[in-house]
Structure 1
Amino acid sequence: MVRGKTEMKRIENATSRQVTFSKRRNGLLKKAFELSVLCDAEVAVIVFSPKGKLYEFGSASMQKTIDRYRTYSKNDCDKGAVEQNIQQLKFQITIMSKKLESLEASKKKLLGENLDSCCVEELHELESTIEKSLHRIRGRKIKFLEEQIAQLKEKQEKMLQKKNEALREQCMFQNQVPLATLRDVAPHRDAANHPMDVETELCIGWPRTREEP
């Protein structure tokens, strides 16, 4: 009798489902055992029943096989991540190369080179870009000159302030000359400017003899 093909879907009947699970579980564990013996392969099978019961088979230590699996899985993940990073870097390098080529071409056009291939719109755009650049350059130049003028003005104001302070100190020193020195100098100035009057008698003719009393 030909056995019919079983449709791959969940068995709705609980009893039939449990019977099928037991038969196929035993067959799976048997095949795993045969594979490990015939081919000298390291085989580990873990099965949980619908009720959560554990069934397992390991040709070697189950923990050792699991650790080995984790090591290989980690290496595969690392290799995949590295390969993905390499592809991403190659893509970014390609984009950056195209940007550099575009910037180099724009630089040459701004310097007046390779203009034969430019259309009228591109030339207008270059002219507008150059005018904007000149405007920014002039603005920066004016700002720089204003800063220099402000610095010079501040420097001159400090110099004038120092000179004013020096003159003020000199005037204060002159006003603090002692009065005794001025008193000693005043008589000499009066004697020089106002000589003493001497009374004299002027006579015309023979001099008179002095009469005796």
Structure 2
Amino acid sequence: MGRRKVEIKRIENKSSRQVTFSKRRKGLIEKARQLSILCESSIAVVAVSGSGKLYDSASGDNMSKIIDRYEIHHADELKALDLAEKIRNYLPHKELLEIVQSKLEESNVDNVSVDSLISMEEQLETALSVIRAKKTELMMEDMKSLQEREKLLIEENQILASQVGKKTFLVIEGDRGMSRENGSGNKVPETLSLLK
């Protein structure tokens, strides 16, 4: 009697779901351990059950070393996620600037608390970071399109140069005195390719 193929869908029975999670979690951790041994690699497995309980396992290195390496390797992505989270928590830029302007008008300056000023400063710094990131993104896109255009122009230039290089031109140098003369005193025309 062989194994039957299990259809991958949510298990409706809660106790069956918990048993399956426990068995498959143990199997996953065992496979990760085996892969770590076979390939001399560091592997971390993190699983969160339906009830919110956290299970983790690390092979090769300890969990904190693996997570530190992950954070270093994906620092830009994590920074972008953090920035996106901050953006969601703050007001749109126009509203933010209007609030700052209204709070900093001379009549209201005395009524603004330090906490409020710190909050506004953080929001302005975040807005500025978003604007700078967008500016950098647009500049990189422009630079990429210019590089692509440059590549096309170089290719076109090479095609034209090869077409011109196939032809030879008669160059008669008269007044400069650089041409050779034959025995009868007549100047001999020289043929030169346009590109050497």
TM-score (norm 2): 0.41
Write 1 or 2 for the structure with the bigger share of helix. 1
- Report which of the two has the higher share of strand: 2
Q: Which has the higher contact order (CA 8 A, sep 6+)?
A: 2
TM-score by length of 1: 0.38
- Whichever of the two has the greater Rg, that structure is 1
